[in-house]
Structure formats: C-alpha cells, structure tokens
Structure 1
Amino acid sequence: MYKLKGRRFWEVPCRGRMTWGWRKLLAIRSLIRPFLWSSIGNGAQTNIWSDMWCDHCPLSSFISPRRISNAGFHLQSTVAELVSHSGEWSWPIAWYDLFPVLIYIQVSMFNDRQDRLIWKDLDGNSRHFSSWEVWNNIRHRENLVPWVNMVWFKHYIPRHSFHMWLVIRNKLKTQDRLSVWEAGSATNLNLMCCPLCCYDRDSRNHLFFECSFALEVWNNIKAWTAMESVNGTWADIMSWMTQNSNMQMPENIISRLVLSAASYFVWQERNNRLFSKNQRTAMVIAREIIQTVRLRMLTFQFKWRPGLRRLLEKWQIPSGNMEIDPG
C-alpha cells in the first residue's frame, strides 16, 4: 500500500504542496477506506482505532479522540498494544457500558507474520487487488438497462458501440438539443436544418433514420441484417433491440454490428456536411458500412449450423471461418 512519510495515504492530511496524483488519491480516500482491511498477523502494524480489522471498525467512528486520550491510550495505538499479557483487551471496563459493541469484538490470535492489507469487495469477500476490482466496487451503479447487450458485446467495434451508447442516451449534440440549451441567437436557431436532407432540425429520431437521406442508407443496408421488417423509426429499432439483445445467433450479431456502424457513419456524414464541403451519397455510405462490418466478420470463427454457409457466401466470408461459435 502506498505510504507517504511512513503513513498510509488515508492518514495523510490534505495540506501543503503535493502532487496532482496524491491530491486525487487523498480526495477519494473516504470511498476507498471501507474496502481496505488489515489481516492481523502480529498486530503491530494495524492502528486499532482507524484501520479496518474487524466487523465493527473503525472504532474511531464511535470512540472519540478525547475518550481515547483520557483512557491513557494514544491515537497511534496498534491492535497488539491493546491486548494485555493475559490475552484480554486493555480498554476500561466502563467502555463496555458506553460502547456495548466492544463485547462482541474477539481478541485477535496473533502469529509471527506481519499484518497485511487486503481488499474486500461489496459482499465482504477478500479479493486480489487490481484496478478493475477497485473500480467495480467504487463506481456508481444504475439499474441494468435492457439494451446493454445490444451495445456492448464480444465482437463490437469500440468506436461504433461508444457512439451507439451516446445515441441511445440521446447525448449527441443535435440541433434540437442545442435549441434547448439556447445556444446562439434565436435567428440562428431558426435557420438550423438537417445537413443531410435540409429539412427540419436534426435530432436523434430524425437522424436514425427518419431523415430521407439516412432512411435511404438504412433501406440499402437492412437487407443484410435480420431487421428487414424494422422500419427507420427509432421506436421500432429500440423495440427490436430490447427483444433481441441477448440472442447470440450470427445473424443477430451481424445486425448489431450493422446498426452501430450505420449510426456511426450517418453521424460522421452529418458532421462532414456541417463543418466541411465533403459530401458522399447514401449508396457510398451504405457500401462503407457493409465493408466495415465484413472486415470485422473476417475475424469471426462460426460454429456450423444449417444456413450458415449461405450467410457466409452472402458476406463473402471464407468457409475457413466456420466451426467455432462466435458467441
């Protein structure tokens, strides 16, 4: 565990000149501290008041520094120092009436090993310390959304899935959102129109895929997916995602890849037209979507199933990619 001048990072006061990294570490110590526990060995390295070494710790949460001092102890006392030669706790008898919880704290069984720090997860289980384990325990959690497997799945293209996540969360800087933020003058807002079809302001629902240009792209690519019956409205697309996001059939995986790529390249074309003079036709974009997905599929190895050979021939995927399940 990191130390600064002989002290653990949660014991270091936030004052004086300090590097940016240490300031950030100290800022989150209240989040990290409940997960860092001392595994008692000889008890000489664990602070009995501030460290986490039993289920009722830290003791400093209910025993004040004044009471600790009045009892003749000091704030740096270790677990070993508070155990008498007879193997009992040395705190005053009166404390058992003031703090009944002390009755349930068993005297530690010491050995010759030094105390060591361990990481305990949200369920109280000891875990191997890693950055992933830390993040998984301290991150803010929301309810699981039904479309999670539609965006994040084994074969996803990272930039496409990240963009798809923004689309679903409606976080893209579309013109309808800019108008809500009251960006610019009212005159400029009134002049806004979709850069793809030059009709109405663009929005999430308009761009995916109610816009006449985006709808043309969608109509050119949906025959390559299992979504031929899905029209270009965002509500129908979300409905399909909710019903099919957990399926691992090759057609379903391909559909997710195509949909994510379509949203990515339509948004890219929208920005190109808005900020430069570069323009491509809907057919060119559709071909780029299919080619991008095909290149991703070339890394797959499919488990054989009826109809798979026909699917691979449609996408011009070598038969050598068969036999292993892509899920």
Structure 2
Amino acid sequence: MRDVLRGRFIHDIGDGTITSAWFDEWNDVEPLINIVRLCDIVNGGMLLTDQVCDIIDQAKWRWPPDWVDRYVILNNLAPPVLSINSDMVMGNDIAGNKCVFSISHVWEYLRPHAPIVEWYSMVWFSQCIPRHTFVDFVLLVSPFAIRNVARIVVIKLLFAASIYYVWQERNRRLFKKGNRSAMQLYETIYSTVR
C-alpha cells in the first residue's frame, strides 16, 4: 500500500513543526532519509524525530558542512521559508488536481472504479435499512419502475425487510430449530417498515 501511495502526497511547509525532516515528502527531491545515511544523521547531531523547523536556523540548514560535499544533491535544496501557518499535507484527487489531503481522496484513488449497476437504486437508497441491504446486495435484485415516488420508497422498504426477515427465518429454521408462523413474520416485517 505504501508503494502505491508514495509520491501522491507532499507536505506543504508552513511553520515546519508537523512535518518530519527525514521521513516525510516535503521537498522536490524525495524524503531526506533516502538521501542521507542514517549513521550520518546521528553522527551529525541530528535526531530521527526532528521536524523541518529543527533542521533550519535563520533560513539556513543546520546540517554539518561536510554533508554538502558528501551529498551533492543537498546543494540544490533550498531551505523552505517558515511561516506562522501550520504544515499541510497536499495531494492529488482522482482527476489529478492538487488538493488538501483527505481520506476520501485516498479512497477514491485506491478503490476500484466500475460503472454503476442498474439495480443500484433498489438496494441503496436514502431510506434503506442498512442490515437489510446486505442481503439485497447479495441477491442482486433488479429494480422495477413505479411512477409514484412514495410508493417506490414503501415498496423498496417492504422488499428489503421481506428479504431480510425471510432469510433470517430460513436461518432460524435451519440452525436453531425454531420457527415463526407466517402471521408473526408478516407482523415483524410490517412493524419494521411502518
């Protein structure tokens, strides 16, 4: 998962107090831990827990002078200008537009995309009862059209409740050796939808 998301998000430096100096992607190159050896970080008097603000002093890098010769790529890395704003994690949405990080953007990037199936509205609708929709989903119900919207909602609820409770009754009879009468089943469905 980490390899899939690597490079998708970058820290926009504000005050530098949230972003890890070594492990987060905040510069145009890559995380500094991929450039500077771990032993050099420790021997240079730096800590692995340093934030970006910890390795900058008066708009200059705080790392040892010999790093500039040892790690030539650091010569081209200008220290970010720290501000009073907080650091922000930025990323790209599914369309490639730059945006503030959110879990919903990660989900949209990672989830498989497929066209909406024709029975979608029969199973998932705003008045649905969640525990009923799973059984509906499993059975892949096809929707049917009725003109009156109120009737559609009631029929969908009745349909979903009926499937759920009939399936529940089936399991009860198979595994618990108990059963309800047809009238008791009807009353249960009716009271749920009502």
TM-score tier, shorter chain, comes to: 0.5 to 0.7
Q: What residue in structure 2 maps to residue 58 of structure 1?
A: 31
RMSD of aligned Cα (Å): 4.5
Q: CA deviation at 1:53?
A: 3.0
Q: Is the 8 A contact 1:46 1:79 kept in 2?
A: yes
Q: Is the 8 A contact 1:265 1:289 kept in 2?
A: yes
Q: CA deviation at 1:266?
A: 0.9
Q: 1:251 to 1:62 in 2, by over 3 A?
A: farther
Question: Aligned residues, how many?
Answer: 180
2:99 to 121, 125, 144: 125
Q: What is the CA–CA distance in structure 2 between the aligned matches of 1:88 and 1:277, rounded to whole Å?
A: 75
1:158 aligns with 2:134: no
Matches within 5 A, 1:158-177: 158-165=130-137, 167-168=138-139
1:228-263 deviations in Å (ceiling 9; x for gaps): xxxxxxxxx73x33x87xx99434333332221121
Q: What residue in structure 2 maps to residue 137 of structure 1?
A: 106
Q: Is the 8 A contact 2:25 2:31 kept in 1?
A: yes
Q: What residue in structure 1 maps to residue 172 of structure 2?
A: 272
1:40 aligns with 2:17: no
Corresponding residue SS for 1:125: strand
Corresponding residue SS for 1:49: coil
One-letter amino acid matched to 1:95? Y
Q: What residue in structure 1 maps to residue 81 of structure 2?
A: 109
Q: What is the CA–CA distance in structure 2 between the aligned matches of 1:148 and 1:158, rounded to whole Å?
A: 14
Q: What is the CA–CA distance in structure 2 between the aligned matches of 1:52 and 1:110, rounded to whole Å?
A: 16
1:18-76 deviations in Å (ceiling 9; x for gaps): xxxxxxxxxx99999986946431x4664421234335442213433245467x46344
Identity %: 26
Q: Is the 8 A contact 1:37 1:51 kept in 2?
A: yes
One-letter amino acid matched to 1:273? R
1:188-228 deviations in Å (ceiling 9; x for gaps): xxxxxxxxxxxxxxxxxxxxxxxxxxxxxxxxxxxxxxxxx
2:163 to 253, 256, 263: 263
Q: CA deviation at 1:267?
A: 0.7
Q: Which runs of 5+ in 1 are unaligned?
A: 1-27, 128-132, 169-236, 296-327
Q: What is the CA–CA distance in structure 2 between the aligned matches of 1:32 and 1:63, rounded to whole Å?
A: 22
1:79 aligns with 2:48: no
Q: 1:54 to 1:150 in 2, by over 3 A?
A: farther
Q: 1:80 to 1:135 in 2, by over 3 A?
A: closer
Q: What is the CA–CA distance in structure 1 between the aligned matches of 2:14 and 2:59, rounded to whole Å?
A: 19
1:250 aligns with 2:118: no
Q: What is the CA–CA distance in structure 1 between the aligned matches of 2:23 and 2:187, rounded to whole Å?
A: 63
Q: CA deviation at 1:155?
A: 0.7
2:22 to 49, 67, 88: 49
Q: What is the CA–CA distance in structure 1 between the aligned matches of 2:37 and 2:135, rounded to whole Å?
A: 51
Q: CA deviation at 1:116?
A: 3.8
Q: What residue in structure 2 maps to residue 171 of structure 1?
A: none
Rg larger in 1 or in 2? 1
Per the normalisation by structure 1, the TM-score is 0.41
Q: What is the CA–CA distance in structure 2 between the aligned matches of 1:86 and 1:265, rounded to whole Å?
A: 68
Matches within 5 A, 1:156-235: 156-165=128-137, 167-168=138-139
Q: What is the CA–CA distance in structure 2 between the aligned matches of 1:126 and 1:279, rounded to whole Å?
A: 54
Q: What is the CA–CA distance in structure 2 between the aligned matches of 1:86 and 1:263, rounded to whole Å?
A: 67
Q: 1:252 to 1:75 in 2, by over 3 A?
A: same
Corresponding residue SS for 2:82: coil
1:150-186 deviations in Å (ceiling 9; x for gaps): 3232111122123333x24xxxxxxxxxxxxxxxxxx
